[in-house]
Amino acid sequence: MAVGIFDSGLGGLTVLDAAQKRLSDVDFLYFADSAHAPYGVRDAEDIYQLTRKAVSDLWSRGCDLVILACNTASAAALRRMQEEGVPEGKRVLGVFVPLIEALTERQWGDNSPPREVAVKHVALFATPATVSSRAFQRELAFRAIGVDVEAQSCGGVVDAIEDGDMILAEALVRSHVDALKRKMPEPQAAILGCTHYPLMAETFQKALGPDVQVFSQGDLVAQSLADYLQRHPNMLGTGEGGFVTTGKPDFVSDRATQFLRRQIAFEAA
């Protein structure tokens, strides 16, 4: 039995790692569409088609539940996939919901009207595609009012992380934080709206300052998934856990091993 976790590349390993620590008795099948990464510079239609193909592959491998551990895919493809319908007994969920639950301090099942929340000024760091989709702002508006969201497109960060160039990634993060602060000098909270970015969480925090609360997704998604599986234990699926990629398995395995600091072996999708 396995739950599917999908990402355009390796960023979703931050979600996988947290989920494995939180749900040690659950198997996970991780799908990295490395041949087409990064998604953040693609148009919405391309992202949708690639995401749907990958999710369908995970469904065919026996994963009844698939988590889009990719903010770009969640922003550009999730709503359309759900509206067009998924196979009976299958589910696909995104990663925005746990973030918004944490930010607004209200459960997603709380369908009362939007209300004011404590945090008024929020910085959103994300890929160009996620920023242009405005999906985070749209979902947040269902739950909260009076929140000013300033989005900063963080071009190049994902590429640098995927290439293993953390010095470049750190320099780019500092540059993007500086650009955000010119637009919003005093954010109260910051959303790391890409699953690659938790790998740079310390750099974001140092650049933003100690008074800014930084929300990243790994632990939040893991807790939300644990709650979901407790309510829907039938969604554990019939597939086997493991790692598959559309890229070169040996190369992706080496990068993943560096990410998680434990041996990871990908197979060809």
Q: What is the pLDDT of residue 109?
A: 63
Closest CA to 4 of 92, 81, 50, 63: 63
Question: Looking at residue 110, what is its pLDDT?
Answer: 72
| 164-to-88, 196, 241 alpha-carbon distances in Å | 40, 12, 26
Percent of the chain with pLDDT over 90: 80
**How far apart, in whole angstroms, are the C-alpha atoms of residue 111 and residue 92?**
21
Active-site residue, selected from the candidate residues 194, 225, 244, 269: 194
Residue 88, pLDDT above cutoff 90: yes
Strand, helix or coil at 113?
Answer: coil
Catalytic residue among 19, 70, 144, 191: 70
Q: How confident is the model at residue 51 (pLDDT cuts 50, 70, 90)?
A: very high
Would the pLDDT of 71 be above 60?
Answer: yes
Sign of the alpha-carbon torsion through 85, 192, 100, 124 = negative
Q: Domains in the chain and their CATH numbers?
A: 2-95+218-268 (3.40.50.1860), 97-215 (3.40.50.1860)
The pTM of the whole model exceeds 0.85: yes
Q: What confidence tens digit (pLDDT) does each residue in 103-160 have?
A: 888 775 677 889 899 999 999 999 999 999 999 999 899 889 999 999 999 999 999 9
Residue 265, pLDDT score: 98
What's the rounded Cα separation, in Å, for the pair 232 and 30? 20
User: Annotated catalytic, 194?
Assistant: yes
3-state SS assignment for residue 224: helix
Asked if residue 33 has pLDDT above 70, the reply is yes
> Is residue 63 flagged as an active site residue?
no
Q: What is the mean pLDDT of the chain?
A: 93
Distances in Å between the Cα of 229 and the Cα atoms of 5, 66, 108, 109, 232 are 14, 12, 15, 15, 5
Q: Report pLDDT for 242.
A: 97
Provide the pLDDT for residue 217: 87
For the chain, how many residues are written?
269
Per residue in 222-264, pLDDT (tens digit) is 999 999 999 999 999 898 999 999 999 999 999 999 888 899 9
